[in-house]
Structures are given as C-alpha cells and as structure tokens.
Structure 1
Amino acid sequence: MTQVRNHSRSNSNTGRISPTRLRLLMAALLAVSFLGALDHTIVSTSLATVAGELGALQHMSWVVVGYTLASTVLLPVLGGLGDRVGPRMVFLIALIGFAAASFVCGLAHDMTQLVVARVLQGMSAAGLQLMSQTIVAEVTTPRQRPAYLSLIGAAFPVAILIGPLLGGLITDHWGWPWVFWINVPVGLAALLLAVVAVPHIEPAGKKRFDVVGAVLLTAVLVAVVLAVAWFSSGNSAAWIALGAGVAALGGLVVVERGQQNPIIPVHLFRNRTFSAGVGLSAVMGAGLISATAYLPTYFQMAYGVSATISGLVPIATVLGMLVGNLVTGWLASRTGRYRAFPIVGTVMGALGLGAMFLLPRGAPLWVPALIMAFVGLGTGAFMSLAIAIVQGAAPRSELGAATATAGLSGQIGSTVGSAVVGGVVGFGVASLLPTGLDSQTLTPALVHAADPAMQAEIAAIYHDVFSPVFLALAGVYTLGFIAALLLPDGRLSDDAAVPADDSADSAALDGSADLALQGKD
C-alpha cells in the first residue's frame, strides 16, 4: 500500500488545534451556519405581515429575492478573499455584518429599507456558510472532514424544518421585527465564541485579487438570477437581464483569458474529482430543492389536502436528507471510504423520482411521503460529502475559491431548476384548465370548494403536469450518478499534508493526488 497525499491542507493549522478548542470551534461554526440557514426560511411565514405593515405587497418577493441574490453572487468573491486574507478575518467580518444587518432589518420603516438591509444580510450569510466550510477544511484531516462538514450541513435541513414554524410564532407573539432581531444576541454570543475558538490561518499565498473578474462575474450572476426570476413570473424585463448577462459573460471570458489568478478557478475543472464534486452539488440544488419547492402545491391540488397536510411530504423529504447527511458523514470519516455514498445516493434519488413519475392517481399520501423521504435520504448521502470532495481536489491556496465554486453550483442549480419547474408547471396547468378557470387566480381554497367532478378534473391535470417533471428530475440524478462514477476509489487519509507551494498546487491537480487517498500501487 502507498499513501498519496493531497497537498491542499496544512498540518500547521491542524497541529495547533486541541480537541477542546476544536469542539469550541465547531460550536461557533454550527451556531453561525444555523443562523445563516435559518434566516432564509424563518422570514417566509412573516412576509405577508411585513408587506401589510409596510404597505408594499407588490414588492414582497424582493425580501426573499434580495437575500438570495446577494448570498449567491458574493460566494466567488468571498471565496477569493478568504484565500488571500485568511478565512478567519472574512468569517468574523461576515458575522459582525450579519448581526448589524439583522438589527437594521427590524428597524426598517418601508420596503426599500428592508430590501437593502436584506441584501446586506444575504451578503454576510454567504460569508458565514462559506468560511465555516473553509475553516473546517483548514483545521481537519481529509478523513475527519466529512463528519464535521456533515454537522455544519445539518443546519440547512433543520432550518427548513423549524424556520417557518419559528417565524410564525415570533411574528404572532413578538412582532415581525423580532424575526430579524433574534439574530443579534445569538450572533454576538457566537462572535465572542468565534474570537476565541477560530484560529489564525495564514493564507497559503499572497496572490493578487482579481477585481475586474469579480465585478464582471457578479454582473453575470446578478443578471442570470434576475432573468430566471423574471422569466418565471412573466416579466418582460427578463430579456434585458439576459442580454446584460450575455454581454457581461463575454467581457468576463475576454478578461479572464490568461489571468493567473481568476476569480473562478477554471483550471481546477481539469481535475475529474473536482468536476464531479461540483456536479454533485448542482444535482442537489437542481434535483431536490426545485422538487421540494413545489411539492406542497402539487399535493394541495392533486390530492385535495390542506396546506398543513401538504407540508408533511417536504418534511419527510428533509428528514431523510438530514439522516442521510449525518450518517454518511460519520461513516466516511470512520471508514475512510467515500465513493460509494454519492453513487448509491444518486441512484436512490433517480429511483425515487422515477417512482413519483409512475405514481398512480389517488395513491395514499403516505406513499409519496415515503418515496420522497427515500429521495431525501439519497441526497443527504452526498450533500456535504460533495464539499469535502471538492476541497480535497484543490490546492490549499484555493480552498476558499473551490468551496465557493461548489456552493455556487448548488445555488445556481436550485435557482434555475426551481424557475424551470415553476415555468413548466404554470404553462402546463394553464394550457389544460377547462374554459372559465384562470390559472393565475386558481387557489387550493377555490378547488376544495368546487364540486367533486371539478376537483377530480383539476387533480388529474396537476398529476399529469407534474409526472414528466418528476421524470426530468430523475434524469438530473442520473447525471449525478455519472459524475459519481468518475470519482477515484480509495480511502481518505488520516494525515494532514504539508503546506501548499507552487509544486504542491500542481500536484493537487494530478489525478493521482485526488482526495488524499490511500490506494493500491
């Protein structure tokens, strides 16, 4: 047996972390990761109240869109900054910014102020999540990493589960400003803990930051996200955004050609392990997140259940994701084996969504709930592991950029996937509805009040429209299965690598250096 080391980690950091300090560090990272993830879901329940009190119902969606847009487009910028100034500084500044922006959100007197504050909050949340994952990569060995990343990754499904309920309780009993203000004391406590627990991590290299590339990439991402959001809502401005995005993309290609330190580490895609990990992140976003976004609508219309009951299937899905994420993270760290999990997970996702496609009309609700829990379990099997895979294939000097690339692929996958699914469902339902019914004003309440024959007809329409959507999403998981097959076999190393230098960076791009493997000669 020979041991092949990935040169993307530094044992200088791992050696300075005692077990006690590592536990404190994980407590701080967990707290802030949960805050960032929770703030994306807790606001949804209070939106109607916020919009009503601020008198801007027509701009209500921008409270969510502004946050999502900022947290998406800032990922590559913050990843590059983390590589150049160190993840600790970016993390602490993001935490201070998040607490301050949360306080300002609660003070907003009109929708414009709230949206601006939400943009700042989204920017900070991106830094919290991204730097949490980068810091874990810096202070752990490849074998330890899946278990710790799965703990941080658990913040996302937990936030989905409790966010809407918590937001409703806070709004009803304390008022909507406290949906944001609750972040301030928790954020300050996490900040005190982080100052003590997060170690100083010397950047691997003092490379020049690609300012022009960062500006152009931000313009591309803003244009793409806005175009997708506007296309799904039928806004003609989507074409303007799309044109602006294409123009910015052309400028980005010209500027980045020959750039030694590009904002997106394109050269890393020559490594099949890196490419496979980024692809798996995109599958999670496009495959599961876009599906769960529309499951309540599907069950309210196709099954005639209430909004409360329709939420049980997404809850089952997220619970499956949570269990799969924690179990596979623990198993990968315990055994050192990792390749089987994304292979099995993508197969489970494809089979589950294929079963949703074949599901007959009128099946008991527990059947799709069980199927989607199966899909969630499979997705959780590679949700956080994909981040560890990407980090293991990158040189230490580009850990932040590599982690940001994986996160960005998941964000874009979920944004584009949700918009495409929403567009297909909206167009399909509108084209099949009987004369006299308008898809724009059709609500579950109206359907449930209709006569049984009309309910059955609408249920059949929604079943027929969603079935090919489930089949297409099963195809997305099939692509993920192909990406998983590209991963090399082997075991994760127990050793941290030496600090990266130019030769080490080159070695990290070689197929033999993937993921600090222990393999056969």
Structure 2
Amino acid sequence: MPIPPIVAALCLTEILSLAGAMFFPALQPIFEAEWMLSGTAAGWINGVYFAGYAAATPLLVGLTDRVDPRWIYLPSVLLAAVAMFLFATLAHGLWSAAALRLLAGVGLAGTYMPGLRALSDNVVGPRQSRYVTFYTASFSIGTAMSVYFAGVLMSAVGWRHAAWILGLGPLAAAAVFAVFVPRRTGEAASAPGTGRLDRRLVKAVVSNRDAMGYVLGYAVHCWELFGFRSWLVAFLVFCAGLQPGWSAPVSLQGVATAIMLLGVPASLLGNEGAMALGRRRAISVYMLVSGVVGATIGFTAGRSMALIIVLATVYGITVMLDSGALTAGLVASAEDKRRGATMALYSFCGFGMAFLAPLVFGIILDAAGHSVPGWGLAFASLGLTAMSGILWLRLVRGPA
C-alpha cells in the first residue's frame, strides 16, 4: 500500500528542517581547536540546543490541542533558518554559539512534535503506528544528512558559508509544509484548553500511567541517543588520533552519517518487532542490548579503528530500535483531548535529558583528562542510564 501523500510530505519537511541540527556536533573538533573549548564547554553548546527545545515545548506543543499545528510549525521552522544564518555571522566562541544553538532548539520544538501532531490528526487507524515510525525515522535521516553536508561543505567553503547554505533547508521545509499539509478543520480546530502545561493539565496527563511509562522510557532513550550522537564525531576523531597510520576512504563525518542512517531501518524494524512481540517487552530488550553496548564501547577507544567503527555502528543501530516504538506507544496511549499536552510532556522530559547528557559526558571527559578510560566512563553514563528504562516501563503502567 503506497504511503499517503501527507505522510510523505511531513517526512520530507522533517528531513529538510533538520539541515542544521547537527552542525556543531559534526564539526566539534574544529570548533574545539578554533575556540579553545573544553569538553564541558562543548557539552554546553551541544546540550543547550536540546535545552531550547525542552524549554519551548510545554507551550508550543501544548498549543496544538487548540491551534492548528501549521501556525506553530511555520514560524518555528523559519526561526530555525534564522538561527543558522545568525550562527554563520555571529558565532565566535562559547557564549555566542550557545545562545544561537539555544535559539535553534526553540525552532526544533515548534517543528518536530507539531509535525507529528499534524500527522496524527490526518492519519488514523491501524496503520497510524507505522506512519508515526516513518516520521520519527525521518529524524534520523535529517540528522544524518546534517552531519554529512556539514562535513562536505566545511571542506568546500568553510564552516561559516556552510552554515548559510544549511540554513536554506528549513526554508524549503516551510514551503513544503505550507503547500502539502492541510489546515485543521472541524472539532479538532477548536479543542478546549489553555495550550500550556498548567498544573491541572499535567496532573491529568501524569494520571495516564500507560502514557507515563513511555514518557519515562523516552527520557532515558533521549539521554542515550543524543549523548551518543553529540559526541560521535569527536569520539571517532579521538580514536583515529591514537592511530596516526590509519586512513579512511571517507571522512569521519561520512562514517558518522552512515551510522546514523542505519538507525532508520532499525527504528522501523524495532516498531514492527514491538507490534509482533508486545511493545513494552520488546522495548525492554532493545534498551538492555543498547545499554550493554554503550557501557563498553568507550573502553575500546585504543583498539583498531575497524573494531571501533563496527561497535559504533552496532550502537547506532541498537540505540534506535526503541525510538519509533516508544513514540508510537505514546501516541496510541494518549487521550485524544490531551494528546498535544501528553506529547508536550513527552518531549519536555526527553529533550530535557538530551540537554543534560552531552553536558555530563563532557564533564566526565574533562575530569578524566580525555583519556581512554574517560571516554569509557562517559559512554557508560549513557548505557547504564538507558537500561534504567526497563525498570520504568515495568513499574509505570496501567492496569492489565
């Protein structure tokens, strides 16, 4: 059965809107050298992008319960473009880069989940879970392409011109969304509510224990996923530096791109497995496997690059197995009239953890002197936290 045009359009807008999302992580070793950044400073710049997302999410995503998502999405995706243009012009060190990445994160808050809300408004029925997974998998495609083109454009025109070019992606996303995503009509357009996560609304969302299990699972998933992706290129550069005779047929940004792209089929297959085996059971297995890989990969930094790339690839796959399954589970378990608020809390918790993970990673590296054991401990902080999701999924659930 062909993919509905609305699903294809929203997946395309997701990919385009993320053109600049991984710009700093992809070029982090260059910025570290140019701006003399510590691991903690680099962690701040990486993490503050997700802090902007988490801070804006309660308002922007909560508003989708009463406002057509297009009126959230379009200004936000334009903000993402402006943030890239300003980064190209004004970024000169820790604080200017962090401020502009924070602004870009606000743009992400108004595009990712509002785009998902537009999808769930327009696609219902048994195939909704599969299409939600297509959308979440598009996030991996978008971030992978962001890493790849950041590396290619950096080599061709320098990082400032590269930022200008990548800022065009969100503008293209705005055009596609405006043309192909219909306006919300009928009862959904006038749903009651304040559009923000006030105490009463949060209490109502939290009382949905099935949804809250997925919220907590998503929080530790985002800790692991974005900690890994934020530091992946820097890790590969560190490992390659320990082996001066090693040369790669492609850039390390290209290696990271391939690893991230493999997360796309992993997310799709992970959701299919969850539908076949039972969602919570499957997600728990996925978290266990990825957590074990995360807890060990950093300690292999002094080994051969072939082994490191294989392990990073395995980690990139296993860390994404639960991504689509968690989001599809959340959408299915949320009450219709509070779906926007539930998604807002889901995003807030997930990307709040995504803010903290790169920062904690950098702090651990600084404390350990950027050594092999330091990388091992930093990655272990990702894997061990992810495995705690097994406990949350078991403890926080509705009555059988």
TM-score for both structures, normalised by structure 2: 0.78
1:305 equivalent in structure 2: 243
* Equivalent in 54, 58, 61 of residue 76 of structure 1: 58
Instruction: State, as a whole percentage, how many aligned pairs show the same letter.
Output: 17
**RMSD (Å), alpha carbons:** 4.1
- 1:415-434 alignment runs, 5 A limit: 415-429=355-369
Q: Which stretch of structure 1 is more off in the superposition, 362-371 or 278-287?
A: 362-371
**Can you list the C-alpha shifts for 1:141-173, whole angstroms capped at 9, x where unaligned?**
363233222222233333443323412433454
| In structure 1, distance between residues paired with 2:357 and 2:71 | 34
For residue 323 of structure 2, what is the aligned residue in structure 1? 383
The equivalent of 2:71 in structure 1 is 89
User: Displacement, 1:43?
Assistant: 4.6
Residue in structure 2 matched with residue 137 of structure 1 by the alignment: 120
- Structure 1: give runs of 5+ residues left out of the alignment: 1-18, 215-255, 430-438, 440-461, 489-509, 513-521
Instruction: Write out per-residue CA displacement over residues 16-68 of structure 1, whole angstroms, 9 at most, x where no aligned residue.
Output: xxx99x7332233223322333312135566899999xx98889968766644
Choose from 156, 162, 165 the match for 1:179: 162
Per-residue Cα deviation, 1:102-132 (whole angstroms, up to 9, x for no partner): 5555565988988766554432222111111
Matched, 1:476 2:373: no
2:193 paired residue number: 207
Whether the aligned pair in 2 keeps the contact of 1:84 and 1:203 (CA below 8 Å) is yes
Task: Sort the Cα spacing of 1:381 and 1:196 in 2 relative to 1 into closer, same or farther, 3 A.
Answer: same
Counterpart position of 2:174: 191
Higher-Rg structure is 1
Is contact 2:53–2:348 with CA below 8 Å preserved after alignment?
Answer: no
Aligned length: 388
User: Is residue 35 of structure 1 aligned with residue 16 of structure 2?
Assistant: yes
Question: SS of the counterpart of 1:134?
Answer: helix
Q: Secondary structure at the match of 1:143?
A: coil
Instruction: Determine whether 1:146 maps to 2:129.
Output: yes
Secondary structure of the structure 1 residue equivalent to 2:321: helix
Q: Is the 8 A contact 2:286 2:318 kept in 1?
A: yes
Structure 1 pair 30–388 and aligned structure 2 pair: CA distance change class (3 A): same
Q: CA deviation at 1:207?
A: 1.6
Q: Which stretch shifts more, 316-325 or 301-310?
A: 301-310
Matches within 5 A, 1:41-440: 41-44=22-25, 67-102=49-84, 119-141=102-124, 143-174=126-157, 176=159, 178-182=161-165, 186-201=169-184, 202-203=188-189, 205-210=191-196, 259-261=199-201, 265-294=202-231, 304-305=242-243, 317-330=259-272, 338-356=279-297, 363-429=303-369
Q: 1:361 to 1:102 in 2, by over 3 A?
A: closer
Q: Could you tell me whether the CA contact under 8 Å between 1:347 and 1:378 is conserved in 2? A: no
CA deviation after TM superposition for structure 1 residue 74, in Å: 0.6
Compute the displacement of 1:206 (Å): 2.2
Following TM superposition, by how much is the alpha carbon of 1:208 offset from its aligned partner in structure 2, in angstroms? 2.7
SS at match of 2:109: helix
- Residue-by-residue CA offset, 1:474-514 (whole Å, 9 max, x unaligned): 432321222344587xxxxxxxxxxxxxxxxxxxxx646xx
The aligned residue for residue 23 of structure 1 is: 4
Give the gaps of 5 or more residues in structure 2.
none
CA 1:407–1:142: 2 relative to 1, 3 Å: farther
Cα gap change, 1:74 to 1:466, in 2 (>3 Å): same
Quick one: which amino acid aligns to residue 54 of structure 2?
A: T
Q: Tell me by how many angstroms 1:427 deviates.
A: 1.4
